[in-house]
Structure 1
Amino acid sequence: MRNSLSPYGILIAHTLPAALLLFLYGSMLAVIRPLLSVESVELWMNYGFALVGITILATTYAVIRIRSHGRIHWLYGAFTFLVLVPLLWGFMEQYRSLVPWDVPRWMMPQDGEFYAIRLLSIPLAHAMFVVVAASLPRGARGKPLRDLLIALSIPLASYLFVQVVEPWRIGIDMERHVWVVMMVTLVVVFLFFLFRGVAAIALRTSPRDGWLMVQRFLVALLFPLVGLLLNNGVLENVGNGAFGDLGHWGFYTVALLNGLVVFWGSSTDPRTRFVQFILRAIGFSYVLYFFVLFLPFLPLSIVAIIAVGLGFLLLAPILLFLVQGMQLLNDIRFLRAHWPAGRLVAMLLLCMLVLPGIITARNIRHKHVLDEALAHVYQSDPTEQDATRIDVGSLASVLDHIRNNRDRGGWAQEHTPFLTPWYNYIVLDNLTLGEEKMADLERIFIGHVSDAPRNLRWWVPRNDEVRLDSVTTRSMYDAGHQAWRTWVDLEMTNTGMSQSEFVAHISLPPGAWISDEYLMIDGREVKGILAEKKAATWVYQQIVNIRRDPSITRYIGPEHVQLRVFPFAQQEIRHAGFEVLHKEPVCITLNDEDISIGEGPPLQEAVLTRDGSTVYIPSAVKDTLPVVERKAMYHLLVDGTEAQRGQRDQVLQRVERMMQEDLLDPGEVVLHIVDAYTTTVPWNEDAAHAFLHHAGNGGLFMDRAVRKVITAACKSPSATRPVIILMSSQGLQAGELPGVWLEGLDDLAACLPEGDSFFVHDGTTTEQRSLSDPIKVLVTNASITDPVPVKLWSDGTQANAYLRADSSASIALLSTATPPGTAFAQRDWNDALALEGRWRAHLLHPEGGTLAWRELVRGSFQAQVLTPLTAWMCLENDAQRNALLKKQEEVLNANAALDASNEDITTMSEPGMWWLVIPLLIILLMRR
């Protein structure tokens, strides 16, 4: 116990928590400070300077005692209580002056108001240990029975006071602060005598001491197990997860084993004692976990004892920390005669890392499994033959764990304190995995049929209540960059009877990009910020939820941009605008209205990027190109999953019948056997045999098979064109798609000069559909052999690109090589064209993964032009901008395949602590 008097304890238990508290609140204030009043900022500074001053004094005292090889005086503990308790009480009482109610919750970390209680309770507990240790003279056995009786008498006397004396206090006006002082004093005295009595028992080392064995049984075995059962609702559904989700079997196992090791009397044999030391050290990290978790609830223990009678269970982790910590110190003293003290301390620290190491290793394994699955679905080359096989059992376990960690109800019981944030930090990079993606992974690899709703990009909401009144343009030719910059100004009116949102759809021609935007907010023009798309979308949703002023502009399809402005009050008129960067006069479409921008004659020659990777072919040049027809290659996609094995003979019959009816040459037919992976074979008897005997793996990942066909066709100019035909194994309902489809397939299909059409054959009809809207049937009885003309752009000796046979300009990718580290000039049209080429190359080579994605986002920031990975935003205040930058940093540091989500799931915040609302309720009651 006297080791609590070591001055190093001040550095660990006081300096570090205080520094962490200052860092956490400093990070929060960096975001919300623009929303705070001058009074709130001054209040923050007062509390901050007070905590800094107290911490400097404590740290200086610790350094002095370390240099003089002295111990901590008991007055340090008293001083800590005298300064930290009023500081903490005042902070909690004035928290709504520090952070007013009008500061949006989404800008702050979860449970940020309880950071002070969580972290300052550590130096307060240390101060209590110092006072208790100083009150026990060296070598004294103490009087544990007397101390425990005094401790027990305090809640008993408080109960009698509440029941007997309090009702007769009518008309007596006592100051609220007197009650506060009395309450704090009672709690401190209660804990002092309780800890002193427990410490006095723990100092008795005789294994035959009855008090010692009873104490170990209660503190190490009975209290922890009963506490877990109560918290998890096993005993009469009392706790029901009040302190978090602690129902995993591992908590019970470790609690039982650790309790048995503590109850096990210390041996006098050095080898046996060393084994006991190792086992106790391993379990001590478990004890330390619950010590930190329950420490803030110590002031409530006396209330819980009075009200419930089970309040001692709140004290069990702290008492076990005290008992087992003293037991480990006794082990070290005994073993020091046989091993060096330094080696024993190192062994203690290593053993304490065993359980955290196991948990962290499990998390890293889960991250590896999840990253492999996400890479296969979103970041792998679909044309590779030997794709990495995913461990289905491990993936199912990971997805179950992620789903169980979700906070659906917003209460503490949905999380395992500290462990859930740690899991999210390692596995999910502090972000989340959307329910839609989880359902896709289950359908792809496990073969589950999910009813999770899909927010498909081709479903685009419209709002007719907000009317677009006028559109004006302002064009200016930038001679330095030899390009046009045109502002499109919008005036909008809400004709509805309630607050509403303006949604506009903008179709941009090839070679035109949005390079700026503005929104009028409260009579001032707010310029746009170019941000990462997922972070911008998340921030926009949070702001809209609290009815503030944002706008967002982002791609929702190839050359298709969506502009949203919110909010519009009834009959309100608002103004917004965006800038278009273009090389020649072009026509854009805004909500089905054509708008011509730019002046002068059209370009008469193609424009090549400086690195030669991408070329812009204006319509005037394209009109002069020859029209050709490419030879068709028919790609038949069949269901190779085990769920449809019984339909394979029927599917083969449909294939053979279709080939006979359409006179298809077998040499022009390729069979793709689709499951979670895709096996491709040329059509012949061996292909039919391979299909019949194919061992299905997972679900029907149709999206990957389609991407495989398109990617192979677009990586280099070819005289053949792909015709994609989905051979359905069963009849489809209207609007139904077989298998799993992902978003963004139309972005990739934009490289097909014949268009993005594909066919679905169900044995009776052949439907023609489009990858930009695959649910919609374009033609019911379509012909798969109709020729499609295209334009040929060549250098006279070989084909450089095949282009769509229309009157619009085209962009062709000449090289997919993407040298890293390329810098892009701001609003330079040629660099914007090169950036467009990089995006198209990334679609053909998704195996670049997160690094390539970050390079593209960085390039968009440099060029200041909108790309499919970024979004323009206009925000109302600096706090919203700070929040956007913070969220963007999180997203850019994470796996590109993960999703942005709300802070309740992803942030590395404290565990749910809703029980700590009780002190606030006590404050409110005392005010009355």
Structure 2
Amino acid sequence: MKNLLNPKWIFIINTLPVLVLMIIGFQEFFVIKTLLSAETIWEWKNHAFWLLAFGLINFGFSLFLVLKKRKIRADFALFMLLSTIAFIYSYYSNIDKIIPSSIPNWMLSGETMFYVGTFLMPTLAYSLFIIVFHFTPKDKKVSPWLNFAYALLVTLTWYIFAQLILPLWKNIDTDFNVHFLIIASISGVLIFLFFLIRGLYILMQNKSKFLQKYQLVWKIIFSLILPIIGLLVNNGVFKNSDFHTNSFGIFGDFNSLWFYFLTVFNAIVLCIPNFKNKKYRLFQFLFRAFTFAFTFYFFLVFLPFLPLSVIAIVAIGFGFLMLSPLILFLFHSFQLAEDYAFLKNYFSNHLLTTTSTVAFLIIPTVITLKYLNDKRILTKTLEFVYTPNYSKNYNINLNSLENTLKIVKSYKNKRGDFLESGKIPYLSSYFNWLVLDNLTLSDAKISKIEKIFFGKSEIVLFDNNPPKDSIKIKDISTKTTFDTKQRTYKTWINFDLKDEEKHSGNHEFSTEFNIPDGCFISNYYLEVNGKKEFGILAEKKSAMWIYSQIRNYQKDPGILNYLTGNRISFRVFPFTNNETRKTGIEFMHKEPLKLNIENQEIQLGNVSDTHRNSSFENKDIKYISTAEKQNIKPVFRTPYLCFLIDDSQGKEKQTAALLKRVKKFKSEYPEYAKNSQNGYVDYDLKQSLYTKSTEYKGGFNLDRAIKKLLIKNYNSGEFPVFIVVTDSLQNAILESNYADLRFTFPDNDLYYNLKSDGNLQSFSLSQNSKKLIENNAIFNFNQSVIPYKIASKTYYLENNNLPSLILKSDHFTISNNDIKEGSWNSGLLMQGQFMAQTLHPELKEKEWLNSVKNSFKSKIMTPYTSYLVVENEAQKLVLKRKQEQVLNGNISLDTDEETQSMPEPNLIIIGVLIVLFIAFKEYKNKKLQPKNLKC
């Protein structure tokens, strides 16, 4: 314990945590400062000043001691202890002023109110250790049992106080009760911990006969029995008969068998008697250094809860389990110090320090390597599913993937009761940072991956058609201007939206509409409190996350974003009873056009303009106007049948029957069967059926097969007619639609399912892909296309009264100089690049960051971005923070799945906390009572 007197420890235990706490505090304050009152800002500055002064004094004096080569004195430790307690007490006494209830939780980066206690708790514990050392006589014997008796007396005093005195406590409406009870609680906890630690220190230092005689018993109790009971209690085993409980755990999710294994192994390492042989003792020392990482981890986990242990002993009797990590940490530290003292007589300090450090780092290193492997597997899987290179063969280890998905699901942001976060303390945060880039993988994506590779679970589909509220478009006006330099139009559509029904609560306006190729959204506004607020162009996932958070707090967001293809989602919230709100969207377009929004046809531009039908071309993309398409004679492409046969897991016995069904169908339609092809689909598409030893792997990944074949046949003289052959189409893996690839199937929007009776069911590719259109469908390939030749290559366009785009190259880069603000040509380049990325999904991961930046620079919304109106500067700063997080992560990862509010704490935890906080809570309730009390 003498080594703890080295003042260098202060830099790690106090200076670094205070610095981190200051940085976090400034980041939080910078975000929410515009929402704070002058009084609250003063509280922030006041506490920041005292925290800074506290940190600088400790740093300065420690530096002085280091330079003078002196040890830490008792008075300095006492100053650190009292000043830390004073700051923590002041912070939590004023927490309702520092973080007012009006500040939404989602605006803060985490559980901000707990940061102060977490980061300053090491200083409290360290100061207490130093005080124990200085106030334990070295020149005379002191009974450890007397110290344990004093500690027990403290708990008995608190028990008597809680049972007899507290119920009779007079409820005087002054601050005296509050301050007295909190100060008394803190004092009691400190006195209890002082005598407990002092007794343990004396017991281990003196090597008493009692300790020596029964050391194996003590070792087994504190290294094995109490930790195992603690794990079982935390994991709810005593509440559930099943050992593998689904409980999140009071202090974290410690259900993994590794925690039990390491607990037992650590106990064995510590309980084996010390070897006298120097080589064996060296190995024993290294094994103990190895497991010390495990002991130290649980010491850190329970350190913030150390002050509650005495209260937990009084309240529920299990508080001693919260103390076992502290006792084990002290015992393990003394054992290592004893081993080191023995071995330094035979080995160099450098060897012992180096080898023990390496041994200590083995567990953290193994965890890191495991997480890096999880990241590699997850990245490869996400690439296969969402950004695949269809020319590449993927070899994914399914056993490793299954294990990785289990870890991802266990480390997701689950919620249980208060403190029951479902996370593994520190490790979950480390995993989320290293593997998930501080993002998450949605339940829908996890379900889809499990369905693809393991053929299990149901896919959670996003509801693109939420129930509509009563808001209607009351009035529409347009204003069009023509840019003679660019030869393009800009049209504002202004909406008056009104909630025409009587109701309670708030409603949302939500609609969807299509825009043609070459038409772009370049601005957006929403009136908020009578002021026209223009939209912020933000990364799409970040904007949708912010919209969801603001909406849950009944505020004023509005959002525009792409769904799939050229379909736009338009939402405004909230609307109160009979309220009218004004909003508007600016469109940039090359020629006059019509939009249909909420069944109202809106004309953009004057159809009589002489410059209305101008086509446009650059080196990468060509815009074909409606007029030019109408002057080209349409043609018919040749269809060929592409049978997609269910070859998924569990379908081994059905293959023969499915092939027989295909053969019969071909015989009935010989004119189409001539050039037909069979594709065998499990989690990937195979062009031929292998031998009988072929494995039927994963789910029926129809999505990948369709995309592969659409892209392969893009701009071919033939087009595939997909005929799915399965008895369980409802279990097929499909996107909600394939509108992003609409330009690859201009003449046939249908795919078919071949039933066992030989009849066909038809479904749409461009809309709801699982919604039945016709039960007994027949082939009808009478849709012509527009052929357009550039040089020697022919492109096939949809035959309609809308403009079309042609990719002259299916992959091109956009230089920074090509993008200009408000430039229609920039919008055309970005739309062309997105089309190229649908043909080559492997380019999305590489290019999406530049695509987002190009959208920001041009002020034109793309499928990667969204226009969002927020209410205040704080929301803009939170949006910026979330956006930076998303842009630094994997394109296929997600933001938080949903807003998660903190549930009510359960009765056990209330029992733990009640003595410390009851008076303060009652005081706050009395202050609020006159306002809230109603009949």
- Compute the TM-score of the two structures, normalised by the length of structure 2: 0.91
CA distance in 1 between counterparts of 2:771 and 2:248 reads 49
Deviation at 1:891, TM superposition (A): 1.6
Deviation at 1:613, TM superposition (A): 1.2
Which residue in the other structure is 1:701 paired with?
Answer: 701
Which residue in the other structure is 2:933 paired with?
Answer: none
CA distance in 1 between counterparts of 2:553 and 2:900 reads 20
CA distance in 2 between counterparts of 1:271 and 1:141 reads 35
Cα pair distance change 1:462/1:615, threshold 3 Å = farther
CA distance in 2 between counterparts of 1:292 and 1:257 reads 20
Cα pair distance change 1:396/1:631, threshold 3 Å = same
- Look up the SS of the partner of 1:31 in the other structure: helix
* Superposition map of 1:251-270 within 5 A: 251-270=259-278
**Residue identity in the other structure for 1:627:** P
Deviation at 1:206, TM superposition (A): 8.0
Cα pair distance change 1:579/1:165, threshold 3 Å = closer
1:116-171 deviation line (CA, Å, top 9, x unaligned): 11111110111111111222355766432232222222222343455566677769
CA distance in 1 between counterparts of 2:162 and 2:30 reads 45
**Which one of the candidate residues 543, 562, 581 is aligned to 2:569?**
562
CA distance in 1 between counterparts of 2:900 and 2:306 reads 27
Which residue in the other structure is 2:407 paired with?
Answer: 401
Cα pair distance change 1:799/1:341, threshold 3 Å = same
Deviation at 1:299, TM superposition (A): 1.8
Q: Is the 8 A contact 2:499 2:579 kept in 1?
A: yes
Is the counterpart of residue 833 in structure 1 residue 828 in structure 2? yes
**Which one of the candidate residues 230, 240, 251 is aligned to 2:233?**
230
Deviation at 1:903, TM superposition (A): 8.1
Is the counterpart of residue 741 in structure 1 residue 734 in structure 2? yes
CA distance in 2 between counterparts of 1:589 and 1:635 reads 35
Q: Comparing both chains, which one has the higher relative contact order based on Cα–Cα distances under 8 Å and sequence gaps of 6 or more?
A: 1
* Superposition map of 1:759-908 within 5 A: 759-762=752-755, 763-771=757-765, 772-784=767-779, 786-795=781-790, 798-819=792-813, 822-823=816-817, 824-902=819-897
**Residue identity in the other structure for 1:317:** P
Is the counterpart of residue 391 in structure 1 residue 428 in structure 2? no
Deviation at 1:854, TM superposition (A): 2.1
Cα pair distance change 1:397/1:331, threshold 3 Å = same
Which residue in the other structure is 2:337 paired with?
Answer: 329
Q: Is the 8 A contact 2:151 2:191 kept in 1?
A: yes
**Residue identity in the other structure for 1:393:** N
**Residue identity in the other structure for 1:720:** E
Q: Is the 8 A contact 2:855 2:865 kept in 1?
A: yes
**Which one of the candidate residues 471, 476, 481 is aligned to 1:471?**
476
Deviation at 1:793, TM superposition (A): 1.1
**Which one of the candidate residues 628, 633, 639 is aligned to 2:640?**
633
Q: Is the 8 A contact 1:511 1:811 kept in 2?
A: yes
CA distance in 1 between counterparts of 2:196 and 2:400 reads 47
Deviation at 1:553, TM superposition (A): 0.6
Q: How many residues align?
A: 901
RMSD: 2.8
Which residue in the other structure is 1:485 paired with?
Answer: 490
- Look up the SS of the partner of 1:350 in the other structure: helix
Cα pair distance change 1:883/1:166, threshold 3 Å = closer
1:580-617 deviation line (CA, Å, top 9, x unaligned): 011222222212222111232245553113xx111101
**Residue identity in the other structure for 1:617:** I
CA distance in 1 between counterparts of 2:334 and 2:462 reads 58
Cα pair distance change 1:827/1:175, threshold 3 Å = same
Which residue in the other structure is 2:560 paired with?
Answer: 553
Is the counterpart of residue 181 in structure 1 residue 183 in structure 2? yes
CA distance in 1 between counterparts of 2:923 and 2:472 reads 54
Deviation at 1:563, TM superposition (A): 0.7
**Residue identity in the other structure for 1:739:** A
Is the counterpart of residue 608 in structure 1 residue 617 in structure 2? yes
Deviation at 1:381, TM superposition (A): 2.6
Deviation at 1:880, TM superposition (A): 1.4
CA distance in 1 between counterparts of 2:570 and 2:490 reads 19
Q: Is the 8 A contact 1:431 1:906 kept in 2?
A: no
1:644-681 deviation line (CA, Å, top 9, x unaligned): 23232332232222222222365521211111111125
**Residue identity in the other structure for 2:547:** Y
1:774-800 deviation line (CA, Å, top 9, x unaligned): 2334444444363432111114x5234
1:718-760 deviation line (CA, Å, top 9, x unaligned): 2222222222x32x7xxx6451012452211333221432222
* Superposition map of 1:197-276 within 5 A: 197-204=199-206, 209-210=212-213, 213=216, 215-235=218-238, 241-276=249-284
Q: Which range moves more in the overlay, 547-556 or 164-173? A: 164-173
CA distance in 2 between counterparts of 1:628 and 1:580 reads 33
Q: Which range moves more in the overlay, 33-42 or 736-745? A: 736-745
CA distance in 2 between counterparts of 1:720 and 1:177 reads 83
Deviation at 1:859, TM superposition (A): 2.0
- Compute the TM-score of the two structures, normalised by the length of structure 1: 0.92
CA distance in 2 between counterparts of 1:589 and 1:37 reads 46
1:782-835 deviation line (CA, Å, top 9, x unaligned): 44363432111114x523411112221111111022226545211211111011
Is the counterpart of residue 78 in structure 1 residue 78 in structure 2? yes
Which residue in the other structure is 2:435 paired with?
Answer: 427
Q: Is the 8 A contact 2:814 2:829 kept in 1?
A: no
Which residue in the other structure is 1:910 paired with?
Answer: none
Q: Which range moves more in the overlay, 814-823 or 289-298? A: 814-823
**Which one of the candidate residues 280, 298, 309 is aligned to 2:317?**
309
Which residue in the other structure is 1:685 paired with?
Answer: none
CA distance in 1 between counterparts of 2:690 and 2:215 reads 73
Q: Which range moves more in the overlay, 347-356 or 566-575? A: 347-356
CA distance in 2 between counterparts of 1:652 and 1:588 reads 46
Cα pair distance change 1:454/1:665, threshold 3 Å = closer
CA distance in 2 between counterparts of 1:186 and 1:690 reads 75
Deviation at 1:24, TM superposition (A): 2.1
CA distance in 1 between counterparts of 2:536 and 2:643 reads 46
Which residue in the other structure is 1:722 paired with?
Answer: 720
Q: Is the 8 A contact 1:387 1:677 kept in 2?
A: no
Cα pair distance change 1:850/1:168, threshold 3 Å = closer
**Which one of the candidate residues 658, 678, 681 is aligned to 2:685?**
678
Q: Which range moves more in the overlay, 171-180 or 491-500? A: 171-180
The percent of aligned pairs where both chains have the same amino acid is 29
Q: Is the 8 A contact 1:726 1:761 kept in 2?
A: yes
Which residue in the other structure is 1:758 paired with?
Answer: 751
Contiguous gaps of at least 5 residues in structure 1: 682-688, 908-912
* Superposition map of 1:26-45 within 5 A: 26-45=26-45
Deviation at 1:205, TM superposition (A): 5.3
Q: Is the 8 A contact 2:591 2:613 kept in 1?
A: no
Cα pair distance change 1:902/1:505, threshold 3 Å = closer
Is the counterpart of residue 339 in structure 1 residue 355 in structure 2? no
- Look up the SS of the partner of 1:275 in the other structure: helix
Deviation at 1:6, TM superposition (A): 0.7
* Superposition map of 1:101-250 within 5 A: 101-136=101-136, 142-163=142-163, 175-204=177-206, 209-210=212-213, 213=216, 215-235=218-238, 241-250=249-258
CA distance in 2 between counterparts of 1:396 and 1:664 reads 46
Deviation at 1:874, TM superposition (A): 0.5
Cα pair distance change 1:719/1:50, threshold 3 Å = same
